[in-house]
Structure 1
């Protein structure tokens, strides 16, 4: 791997920003930049990112960070061009171009009509955990902060009881909002997530664990009450099993509050 000269990297990133309105030139110079910083000592025959289905240049994170920094201003001021470039980057199908595409979505204003379609389609297509995380956090930052009502409409669609295939995305997208100290609409969130906690099953237990931890950190009493209600009348035997499995990750106080309910249901079910 070429040693990273930050002054040179800034010039390369500035050069990319100059070609923002010329997608073909931008893509050519981006490939050249990514190739320049390839870590050949890490490259393998397949060049597939670990835990992913995406090819990767194995570019150091600092390279993408500098490119994003230079693109942010021009992308926010020219959303139509940003979306077109994001589409081009996404279609290339490498880890680095997918991360840049997700970043550009995050530069779009919430009013951009095509934003929701991209978020929904791309988040269902992607298998790479890093790209998925970017789509469900960075790509949705402006919508979450500038248009929270619109954001919650989308989350409600993803968490709809009839769409279990999008529940995981809905939970992960919701976590940053719950964790923001200024957020106050916890009753609405609890209403949306109750069916997911009840019916999420073992395949989503890690998502449910993260959700419960975030909710409890923000609103202890409301979260504890919801979980007790769910455990008192579980609609699915797996609900108790799932909550029992993830309970060791809960704060000690919450474990104590729920212990009686988990033990009661386990005895009643003979497990």
Structure 2
């Protein structure tokens, strides 16, 4: 199992990710990308999705749990009812508890035909909401939890419109001088690491490098649409950022 965690998020220019307890946009093609990138796994393996209770409840009941992926729901209420059709969904009391549960996944598929009690995991994605994103960025970029570290952010960056009505935000993980980074500005990990060593304005979540589109496609395992996409008057781009250096423990 890959112990390198990935965040998946769609965010406006101002890092807005929600408004009035709902997504401010409805983008079927962008949602299809989310489904595909979080579902792709080798034969005999499955990906895991870690989410907070509010994110779980934002999914229409008929689509819960998100199929072909192991759903892990975080709630401080140990008696929280996941619903009648939650299937093998895991209820965890905290992010550390969720990762401790996932660490029990076998490293290889069962050699016989009997379904294992716990699926063999490939990748693990953190899919929200804002509290879980923030906790992951604060804790998992400085030291591992149950062997897991946060090394990747898959962000759908929405450029237009501004969605100024957003009242929930994704943490800013980029230094100010890189918040408008374009593919032409992408630099190497070694250059960023050198820059980070002397920077006074680095993100509290470590230093992150935006990878090229080819690197994103290679990691995803399928052709990811390139450059700016437009859907229902909304312009957005699929990006992947990788962590270059650790954050300082708080």
Q: TM-score, normalised by structure 2?
A: 0.29
Higher fraction of strand: 2
Higher relative contact order (CA 8 A, sep 6+): 2
Higher fraction of helix: 1
Q: TM-score, normalised by structure 1?
A: 0.27
